[in-house]
Structure 1
Amino acid sequence: MLRKTLSDTGPAPGRDKPGPSNKPKRIDKAELYRRIRHDAETENLSMRALTRRHHVTGRTVKAALTNPEPPARKPLPRRPSAIDPVQHLIEPLIENGHRPTEIWTRLMDEHDVSISYGLIRLYVHNQTTR
């Protein structure tokens, strides 16, 4: 009763120190595959028991039991840049010796392109230092 009256006498509700998490720590996939194969060989566990123990899907367990190493990750496709749509306009201007400020101004005025000056400057710098 007194604790409710004097709100600053105890810890705020829900503000207790966090305890240890029940979530397993993340390990790299090669180590996970090794552990799954080890458990399957030494303890003769079923697929279902391996999925529960290692918190993975049956597909992962099957892959770990058939392949010694996990498959390599697929490379991500290149993300399009803001420069890509106007690159064909910028290249001739760089070849003619225009400075980034001039290129930016011409893109804005003549082609009605909205692009940052910093991006143009970086692109011109990268093209001229090659």
Structure 2
Amino acid sequence: MIDFENAKFLKLRRVKDTDFEALLQPMFVEDEGIVSTYRTVRDGVVFTNRRIIAINVQGVTGKKKAITSLPYRKIQTYAIETSGVLDLDSELKVTFSGMGTMTFEFTANANVAEICQYISYCTL
């Protein structure tokens, strides 16, 4: 489970949806599919049509993984900070009911507006 006191995923970049598909597919419910996939060097975040899945790769070998399912229906608020002239990264802060706030920091080429539009679609 993610430690919401330090819940931060840094420098996420868009990758192929197949990067974590084999790991997550057995956990999907009927009609669930991947919308977009982001990863750091080791960790990852997968947006499905039902939830956000955070993957925290642990240990030296990376075989141990902590996977946290964050359903869209638990989202209370979200906020974005877009990139600027000197700060090229974007941030998405999502507050989940009963859990806390997670911060996702994306590289400059990530389309954070598209992510927010999808979260809005699922929550409104």
Give TM-score, length-normalised by structure 2: 0.26
Higher RCO structure, 1 or 2 (CA under 8 Å, sep 6+): 2
Q: TM-score, normalised by structure 1?
A: 0.25
Structure with higher strand content? 2
